[in-house]
Amino acid sequence: DTGVSQNPRHKITKRGQNVTFRCDPISEHNRLYWYRQTLGQGPEFLTYFQNEAQLEKSRLLSDRFSAERPKGSFSTLEIQRTEQGDSAMYLCASNGQVTYNEQFFGPGTRLTVL
> What is the contact surface with other proteins in residues (CB under 8 A)?
4, 6, 33, 35, 40-45, 48, 55-56, 58, 91, 93, 95, 99-108
- C-alpha distance from residue 49 to each of 1, 39, 52, 71, 102 (Å): 20, 26, 6, 11, 15
Strands 65-68, 75-79: parallel, antiparallel or unpaired by DSSP? antiparallel
For residue 28, which phi and psi values (nearest 5 degrees)?
A: 75, 0
Q: Give whichever of 48 and 65 is closer to other proteins, judged by the CB atom.
A: 48
Q: Give whichever of 79 and 93 is closer to other proteins, judged by the CB atom.
A: 93
CB 95 → other proteins: shortest distance, Å? 7
Q: Give whichever of 14 and 42 is closer to other proteins, judged by the CB atom.
A: 42
CB 86 → other proteins: shortest distance, Å? 19
- C-alpha distance from residue 82 to each of 28, 34, 45, 65, 86 (Å): 32, 17, 19, 9, 6
Q: Give whichever of 72 and 107 is closer to other proteins, judged by the CB atom.
A: 107
CB 63 → other proteins: shortest distance, Å? 20
CB 67 → other proteins: shortest distance, Å? 14
